């Protein structure tokens, strides 16, 4: 027995040692030269854009974070790309298997979820495994209002009440748990979503397994539908970035890094953790309402199932936790891979591949792909951020 | 007038009595040394004062106000601050940002408040690390990390500062320098309690020494009186001796 373990240990260490060498060679022979070439190509663009970025840094930089010329350029192009996707996506889509606008609309919703998760879990380090309970609360509230109260209620009424419901469920989870330390917070959020899932499947008045088909989609027009999802997403990104770059973000990160130091600074950590959970619940509710308008169906597997909570975490991890914009990018990468690049494969195969990517990022790029790219963009002319 | 009053403080952990019926009064402008062999309960007293431990029995008052059951952040807001034994700066933040964190208002609405760069420089200058503001804590030598802890504490604008083993790990030159800086705080009107397990760094600095042994009050007096006290000598015999 012991000799088997020893043998396995030797094999494992040899394999990981060799893998490490291969990775080292890959980095030296391929990634670094490619990186240097890119830097040489991008440096002039960075220089050209610098005056514009400086103007931004002087006026809005203190509120949304400072950027280098190239970083500013990438953000500007990305925002312009998202705002005009309704026009270019139908032309590019067929190259990627079609339905690109649908994927981008879905990615917008998941970006909202991942960013909302990030401002709470990514920033404070109190990892929630139960965030889909919040979007679920919003989705189910919309469905129940339409089914049991009045099918003609306006979206503004059902939407507002649903976001409020997400906030209430958020407070129900956060109030008793955020004082807890260690793994208890995570475990309770995990149990909360399992509980919610069983609740929705156990009672037919809550729709049971098929859920509710009565809520209508916002629109059948793919272009309009995309903008219904993308515009709120961009506004939420703006609001959360503003919050994350303020004192609040600084305190939340300090809570993650060293909670006793936050108390010693005269700041009440519980109050800020609670606030971050509320700040997370509201956009989760908005995302839930948008998901109803996207699918037209409210059921446990679309809304509540714990896999959804894990997917939000995966997206945030891929993009780069505690950066807001990282999870936004992560959502688009994840959904485009899932529904466009890998669209020919069956769902299990696609997810197998996606989870492998998550694992890869966790092992080799722990800070997230988009954060890594962002920092490289900020340092193309040698100076690091 | 007493700034800090600790009355009959008792703290037990299960069956272990860490602090037993201990009392302490600190007057405005004083520097009091709280000494005792390792494990005598000095840090437990500090932890009780700062609200990190629930007090088993007794009362703690600051400027006449009962703070026994307050949370740490409320106690800090009232003007008490502690420089802990462990240095725990936030490694992701620069020296300047670490200090800034300690100036932020305890309000979710204050998104852009806190000290200005100039004010942060002043806090740092009081402990002579103003030229390290843009460095990261991991780049600093040990003595500067300890100074950063003091700068953070200063940034909460305390009336009374509790210093837990401020000289730990420092060489003689650094100890002398830090003692002079602490002396300057007193001249600026700060009241301080300094914990140490030996009197090496404290002799010149403190007005009064209180000795704890096994959680009990053992002796109090001027540094000279304490150095000559037989009971104190005896308590230290098992340990490293009074230096």
Q: Do B104 and A265 touch (CB under 8 A)?
A: yes
Tell me, yes or no, whether A290 lies in a domain: yes
B114 interaction partners in chain A (CB closer than 8 Å)? 247
DSSP per-residue codes, A182-210:
TTHHHHHHHHHHHHHHHHHHH-GGGTTTT
* Contact indicator for B42, B202 with CB cutoff of 8 Å: no
Residues 82-141 of A with CB under 8 A from B: none
Residue A6: the pLDDT is 59
Alpha-carbon distance of B23 to B12, in angstroms, equals 16
How many CB pairs (< 8 A) connect A and B?
81
Of the candidates A243, A250, A271, the beta carbon closest to that of B101 is on A250
pLDDT tens profile B25-43 = 999 999 999 998 888 899 9
Asked whether the predicted pLDDT for residue A1 surpasses 70, the reply is no
Asked if pLDDT for residue A353 goes beyond 70, the answer is yes
Q: Residue A156: what pLDDT?
A: 94
Cα separation of A190 and A305, whole Å?
11
Whole-angstrom distance, CA of residue A275 vs CA of residue A278: 5
Of the candidates B50, B88, B110, which has its C-beta nearest A258's C-beta? B88
- CATH code assigned at A146: 1.10.3470
Chain B partners within 8 Å of A243 (Cβ)? 111
Q: Note whether residue A302 is domain-resident.
A: yes
Q: How confident is the model at residue B63 (pLDDT cuts 50, 70, 90)?
A: very high
Q: Is B54 within 8 Å of chain A by CB?
A: no
The size of chain A, in residues, is 385
Most B CBs within 10 Å, among A253, A266, A269, A276, to test the B interface: A266
Decide if A179 touches B, using CB distance below 8 A.
no
Rg (CA), chain B: 18
Q: Which residue of B has its CA nearest to A263?
A: B73
Edge-first strand order for the sheet with B208-213 is B80-83, B160-164, B191-196, B31-35, B208-213, B216-221
- The share of chain A scoring above pLDDT 90, in percent, equals 72
Contact indicator for A163, A291 with CB cutoff of 8 Å: no
Taking phi over 0 as left and psi of -120 to 50 as alpha, with beta for the rest, B140 belongs to: beta
Where are the domains positioned within chain B? 91-159+180-188
Q: Is A261's CB within 8 Å of B82's CB?
A: no
**Distance between CA atoms of residues A318 and A331, nearest Å:** 9
- Give pLDDT tens digits for A278-310: 999 999 999 999 999 999 999 999 999 999 999
Q: How do residues A230-284 score in pLDDT, each as one tens digit?
A: 999 999 999 999 999 999 999 999 999 999 999 999 999 999 999 999 999 999 9
Query: Is residue A107 in some structural domain?
Result: yes
Q: Which of B90, B111, B153 faces A254 most closely, judged by CB atoms? A: B90
Residue A384 lies in a domain: no
Write the CB contacts of A306 (distance below 8 Å, at least 6 apart in sequence): A129, A130, A132, A190, A193, A194, A197
Element (H, E) at B183: helix B172-187
Domain containing A352 equals 16-379
A384 vs B21, residue with greater confidence: B21
Residues A265, B76: C-beta atoms closer than 8 Å: yes
Q: How far is CA A136 from the centre of its chain?
A: 16
Q: Which residues share a beta bridge with B13?
A: B16
Answer whether B156's CB lies under 8 Å from B188's CB.
no
Q: What is the pLDDT of residue A385?
A: 39
Q: Is B138 on the interface with A (CB under 8 A)?
A: no
Q: Torsion angle, CA of B44/B45/B51/B52, rounded to 10 degrees?
A: -10
Q: How confident is the model at residue A9 (pLDDT cuts 50, 70, 90)?
A: low
Q: Each residue of A331-341: pLDDT tens digit?
A: 999 999 999 99
Can you read off the two tokens belonging to residue B215? Answer: 């959680």
In this complex, is the C-beta atom of A366 within 8 Å of any C-beta atom belonging to chain B? no
Lowest-pLDDT range of B46-60, B65-79, B165-179: B165-179
Mean pLDDT, residues A200-225: 90
In this predicted structure, what is the pLDDT of residue A384? 44
pLDDT for residue A26 = 76
Grade residue A18 by pLDDT with cuts at 50, 70 and 90.
Answer: confident
Q: pLDDT digit string (tens) for B162-212?
A: 999 988 888 888 888 898 999 999 999 999 999 987 676 787 889 999 999
Alpha helices in chain A (DSSP H): 2-26, 32-59, 61-64, 69-92, 100-117, 123-124, 132-144, 155-177, 184-202, 222-244, 247-257, 259-264, 269-295, 300-303, 306-319, 325-336, 347-364, 369-378
* Assembly ipTM: 0.91
Token pair 């992560």: residue: A330
A87 CB-near residues (< 8 Å, 6+ apart): none
Residue A9 lies in a domain: no
Rg (CA), chain A: 22
Q: Which of residues 148-177 of B touch A (CB under 8 A)?
A: 152-153, 156
Q: Based on the structure, what is the number of domains in chain A?
A: 1
Nearest CB partner across the interface for A268, out of B90, B92, B106: B106
Distance between CA atoms of B209 and B61, rounded to whole angstroms?
A: 20
The angle, 0 to 180 degrees and rounded to 10, between the axes of the packed helices B172-187 and B142-155 is 10
- Residue A236, classified by CB atoms within 10 Å of its CB into exposed (0-12), middle (13-18) or buried (19+), is buried
Q: In degrees rounded to 5, what are phi and psi of residue B95?
A: -55, -45
Q: How far apart are CA A240 and CA B111, in angstroms?
A: 12
Number of H helices, E strands in chain B: 8, 10
- Return the higher-pLDDT residue of A384 and B48: B48
Q: Do strands B57-62 and B2-13 pair parallel, antiparallel, or not at all (unpaired)?
A: antiparallel
**Neighboring chain A residues of B81 at a CB cutoff of 8 Å:** 264
Of B77, B93, B108, the CB nearest to A271: B108
- The Cα B178–Cα B172 span in angstroms is 10
Distance separating alpha carbons of residues B92 and A276, to the nearest angstrom? 20
Residue A51 vs residues A63, A376, B172, B237: alpha-carbon distances, Å: 19, 19, 52, 70
Do A266 and B77 lie within an 8 Å CB cutoff? Answer: yes
Q: Is B43:B239 a contact under the CB 8 Å cutoff?
A: no
In a domain, A333, yes or no: yes
As a whole number, mean pLDDT of residues B93-120 equals 93
Distance CA A155, CA B162 (A): 57
A182 against A188, higher pLDDT: A188
Best residue of A62, A123, A247 to probe chain B, by most B CBs closer than 10 Å: A247
């Amino acid at each position: 027995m012991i000799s088997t373990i020893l043998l396995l240990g030797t094999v494992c260490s040899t394999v990981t040692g060799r893998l490490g060498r291969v990775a080292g060679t890959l980095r030296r022979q391929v990634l670094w030269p490619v990186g240097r070439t890119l830097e040489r190509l991008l440096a002039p663009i960075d220089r050209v854009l610098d005056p514009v970025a400086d103007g931004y840094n002087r006026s809005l930089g203190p509120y949304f974070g400072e950027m280098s010329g190239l970083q500013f350029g990438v953000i500007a192009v990305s925002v312009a790309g998202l705002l005009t996707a309704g026009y270019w996506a139908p032309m590019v889509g067929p190259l990627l298997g079609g339905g690109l606008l649908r994927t981008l609309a879905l990615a917008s919703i998941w970006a909202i979820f991942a960013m909302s998760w990030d401002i709470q879990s990514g920033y404070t380090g109190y990892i929630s495994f139960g965030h889909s309970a919040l979007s679920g609360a919003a989705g189910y509230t919309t469905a129940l209002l339409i089914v049991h109260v009045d099918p003609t209620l306006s979206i503004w009424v059902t939407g507002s009440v649903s976001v409020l419901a997400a906030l209430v469920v958020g407070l129900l989870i956060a109030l008793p748990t955020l004082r807890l330390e260690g793994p208890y917070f995570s475990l309770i959020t995990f149990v909360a979503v399992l509980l919610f899932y069983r609740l929705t499947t156990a009672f037919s008045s809550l729709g049971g397994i098929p859920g509710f088909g009565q809520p209508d989609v916002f629109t059948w027009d793919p272009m309009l539908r995309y903008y219904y999802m993308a515009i709120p997403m961009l506004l939420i990104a703006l609001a959360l970035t503003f919050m994350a770059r303020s004192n609040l973000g600084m305190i939340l990160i300090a809570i993650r890094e060293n909670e006793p130091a936050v108390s010693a600074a005269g700041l009440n950590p519980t109050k800020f953790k609670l606030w971050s959970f509320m700040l997370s619940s509201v956009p989760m509710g908005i995302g839930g309402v948008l998901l109803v308008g996207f699918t037209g169906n409210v059921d446990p597997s679309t809304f509540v199932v714990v896999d959804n909570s894990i997917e939000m975490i995966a997206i945030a991890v891929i993009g780069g936790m505690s950066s807001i914009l990282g999870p936004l990018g992560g959502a688009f990468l994840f959904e485009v891979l899932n529904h466009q690049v890998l669209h020919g494969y069956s769902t299990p195969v696609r997810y197998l591949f996606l989870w492998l990517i998550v694992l890869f990022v966790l092992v080799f790029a722990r800070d997230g792909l988009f954060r890594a790219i962002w920092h490289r963009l900020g340092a193309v002319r040698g100076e690091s951020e | 007038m007493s700034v800090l009053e600790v009355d009959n403080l008792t703290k037990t952990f299960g069956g272990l009595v860490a602090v037993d019926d201990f009392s302490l009064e600190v007057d405005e402008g004083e520097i009091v040394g709280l000494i005792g062999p390792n494990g005598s309960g000095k840090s437990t007293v500090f932890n009780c004062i700062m609200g990190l431990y629930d007090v088993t029995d007794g009362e703690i008052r600051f400027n006449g106000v009962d703070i026994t059951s307050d949370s740490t952040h409320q106690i800090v807001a009232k003007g008490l601050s502690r420089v802990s034994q462990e240095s725990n700066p936030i490694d992701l933040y620069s020296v300047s940002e670490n200090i800034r964190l300690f100036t932020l208002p305890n309000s979710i609405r204050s998104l852009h408040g806190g000290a200005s760069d100039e004010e942060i420089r002043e806090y740092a200058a009081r402990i002579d690390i103003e030229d390290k503001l843009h460095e990261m804590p991991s780049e600093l030598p040990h003595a500067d990390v300890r100074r950063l802890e003091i700068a953070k504490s200063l940034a909460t604008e305390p009336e009374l500062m509790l210093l837990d083993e401020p000289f730990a790990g420092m060489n003689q030159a650094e100890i002398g320098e830090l003692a002079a800086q602490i002396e300057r705080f007193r001249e600026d009107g700060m009241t301080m309690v300094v914990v140490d397990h030996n009197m090496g760094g404290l002799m010149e600095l403190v007005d009064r020494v209180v000795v704890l042994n096994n959680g009990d009050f053992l002796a109090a007096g001027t540094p000279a009186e304490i150095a000559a006290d037989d009971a104190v000598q005896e308590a230290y015999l098992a340990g490293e001796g009074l230096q």
